[in-house]
Structure 1
Amino acid sequence: MKMPIMNDEYAELLGIMTGDGCLSHTGKARYIYIAGHKQDDWEYHHNITKVLFQNLFSKEINIKERKNENTLFIKFSDKVIFNELSKFIPVGKKYDSLEIPNMILKDASFFFAYVRGLVDTDGCIIFSKQHRKTPYYPRIELTSKSKPFLISILSELKKHEFYGSVSHKGKSCYRLELPGFKNLKKYQELIGFSNPTKRKKSAPSQI
C-alpha cells in the first residue's frame, strides 16, 4: 500500500482521529477506532470519514452502532494504516503527549483542515443569551483533557487573527473558546464545517 502524502484530506483525517479517535493494540492486533453520536454524526462519518479512508488508504470501513446507546463507532485492524497514523497520533492514552503534528504546521491549509476535523468531532457551537431573552451570541468550543494542546491550537489560530481563551471545563477537562460573530465568520470563511449538524447550526438563519 502506498502511503499518502500530507494534504488537506490527510490533515482533516488526523484532526478527526485526534478528536474522537484512538490507536490501540492487543497482542499483535493494531486497532483504529473512532466514536460518534448515532444521530448527530451518522451522516458526517458516512460521507466524510469513510470517504477519507477510501481516498487516502483505499480502505473500505464500516460504521456500526451500539445497541441501547446513542453511539456509533468505526473499528478495524490494519497494521499498515496503524503504523502510518501513529507517526502523528500517540498510541493508547493520547492526552499526555498530544501535540499538533509538525507536518500540519507547514501549511496554513493543512492546519485549517486539521482544526476542521477536530471541531467537527470534539467541538461544538453554542449560543448564549448575553442579557437577552433568547440565545443569540455564538461561541465555538473545542474540548480536550490536554491544556497544552488547546493552548497550541489557540496560538496558531491567533496567527490568523482569531481570538479566544482556554479554561477549565469540569475537573479534568479544558475548553478552547472562540467567542463572537467575528470569530464565527472567520471560521466559516477559512476553516468551515464538514459535519452537517454543526454546519446547519452555524448557518446565518440559525443566528
Structure 2
Amino acid sequence: MRVQLKNGKQKELIYKVKNKAQFTWKDFSEFLNVSESCIIEWSRENNLLPFKIFKRLDKNNEYEKHIVKIRKEKWGQSKGGLNSSGSLKEIKTPKKSKELAELVGIILGDGNINYIKKGKKIGTYMVRISGDKRYEYDYLTKYVSSLFMRLFSIGTKISKRKGNDLSIIVHSKKLVKFFISLGLKSGNKITNQVTIPKWIFKKEEYLKSCIRGLIDTDGCIYTLKPHYPNYYQLSFKNHNIKLLKDLRKAFLKLNYPISNISKNKQIYLTQKLYINKFYKEIGFSNKKHRDRYKHSPVV
C-alpha cells in the first residue's frame, strides 16, 4: 500500500526525520534499506511513500491526520491462488534511449534478471546488479539507482552480503518482462549466452552507452608499467563468448582497434591514444574507472 499525504507533508516528514537523526542521504538509505535516489524522489514528492516506510518514519503517528488516501498496490497471483510475489504495480515504460542502452550494458556486465521459484509456481521476479561496496557504493546506490528511477519511476533496494559484496535489487514482474522484450534473458547469462540486443547496434549513441555500461561493471583500465610505461590497456573479461564477440564487434564498428579474444577470455584496447579516445567519446559513469584513468595506477 502507498500513503498519499497532503501536499508538502511527505517532504516535511522525510526532512524532519533526516534532520533529527542527523542523517546524510547515505545514512538514511541504509536506515530504510532503499537507494538514495529512491528517498530523494520521495522527498520531492514524485512518488508516494510505501505504507511500511511511512509507519517507520511516523513512529509517533503525528502525520496520520495528514493522510489523504491509502492506495492499494496491484499484486499478481499465479494459478492455484498462490501469490507470485512479483509486483504488478505500474512502471513507466521508457522508449529506447542512450540511458536505457547503458542500463542494458550494466545488466549484461554485473547484473542479471531472474525469478526465484517456489515449488512449481513462479516466485519473486527480480533484477539484481552487484558490485564491490568499497569502490562502487555510490555508483550502484546513486547512479544506477537513479537510472531505474528516471527510466521506470521505480526505486531499488540495497542488499549487503558477507565481505564486500553489494547489490541493488528491484522486484517487479513487469520490469523483468520488459527487459526480456528488449532481448535479454532470465537466468544464467553464460548458459543462455545473453548478449547485446540487436536494436543497440542500430544507433551509434546506443552502442557507446551500452559499451560504457559493460566496461563500468566488468571492465578494467590500467598502465603496463614498468616494462611498457607508454602503454595503457582497457580490458574486458567474461566467460560469455557470445557477449565477448559482440562487444568486440561493437568496438570495431566504432573504429577502435580492439584485440582478438585471448585464451583467458579477454579483449584489450591498448595504447594511451585509444584510451583517451575512449574516455572522450564513451567515458565512464563509474568513478572507480575515472579515478584509474586520471591516476593511471598499476593494476
State TM-score, norm by structure 1: 0.90
Q: Which residue is 2:168 aligned to?
A: 74
CA distance in 2, matches of 1:49, 1:131: 37
Q: Which residue is 1:7 aligned to?
A: 97
CA distance in 2, matches of 1:130, 1:39: 27
1:114 equivalent in alignment to 2:210 = yes
Q: Which residue is 1:101 aligned to?
A: 197
Structure 2 residue matching 1:163: 3-state secondary structure: coil
CA distance in 2, matches of 1:76, 1:152: 27
- Across the aligned residues of Structure 1 and Structure 2, the Cα RMSD in angstroms comes to 1.6
Q: Which residue is 2:150 aligned to?
A: 55
Matches within 5 A, 1:159-198: 159-165=253-259, 166-169=261-264, 174-198=265-289
Note the alpha carbon deviations across 1:116-140, whole angstroms, 9 max, x for none.
00000011112212625xx553111
The aligned length equals: 199
**Larger relative contact order, structure 1 or 2 (CA cutoff 8 Å, min sep 6):** 1
Structure 2 residue matching 1:168: 3-state secondary structure: coil
CA distance in 1, matches of 2:254, 2:127: 32
Q: Which residue is 1:40 aligned to?
A: 135
Aligned amino acid, residue 258 of structure 2: G
Structure 1 residue matching 2:166: 3-state secondary structure: strand
Structure 1 residue matching 2:134: 3-state secondary structure: coil
Residue 16 (structure 1) aligned to one of 106, 114, 121: 106
The question of whether the paired residues in 2 share the 8 Å contact of 1:100 and 1:153 is answered with: yes
CA distance in 2, matches of 1:2, 1:73: 23
Structure 2 residue matching 1:16: 3-state secondary structure: helix
Task: Using the TM superposition, name which of 17-26 and 152-161 deviates more.
Answer: 152-161
The question of whether the paired residues in 2 share the 8 Å contact of 1:15 and 1:116 is answered with: yes
CA distance in 1, matches of 2:186, 2:238: 16
1:105 is displaced (CA, Å) by: 0.8
The question of whether the paired residues in 2 share the 8 Å contact of 1:193 and 1:199 is answered with: yes
Q: Percent of aligned pairs with the same residue?
A: 29
CA distance in 1, matches of 2:150, 2:170: 17
The question of whether the paired residues in 2 share the 8 Å contact of 1:130 and 1:137 is answered with: no
CA distance in 2, matches of 1:17, 1:44: 14
Q: Which residue is 2:29 aligned to?
A: none
Note the alpha carbon deviations across 1:118-166, whole angstroms, 9 max, x for none.
000011112212625xx55311111111223212211221122211222
CA distance in 2, matches of 1:148, 1:20: 16
Give the unaligned 5+ runs of structure 1.
Answer: none
CA distance in 2, matches of 1:78, 1:101: 21
Note the alpha carbon deviations across 1:43-66, whole angstroms, 9 max, x for none.
111221000000011011122322
Instruction: Describe the shift of the 1:130–1:206 C-alpha distance in structure 2 as closer, same or farther (beyond 3 A).
Output: closer
Q: Looking at CA atoms only, which structure, 1 or 2, has the larger radius of gyration?
A: 2
Structure 2 residue matching 1:202: 3-state secondary structure: helix
CA distance in 2, matches of 1:57, 1:2: 4
The question of whether the paired residues in 2 share the 8 Å contact of 1:29 and 1:77 is answered with: yes
Residue 124 (structure 2) aligned to one of 22, 29, 40: 29
Aligned amino acid, residue 134 of structure 2: Q
Q: Which residue is 1:143 aligned to?
A: 237
CA distance in 2, matches of 1:64, 1:33: 9
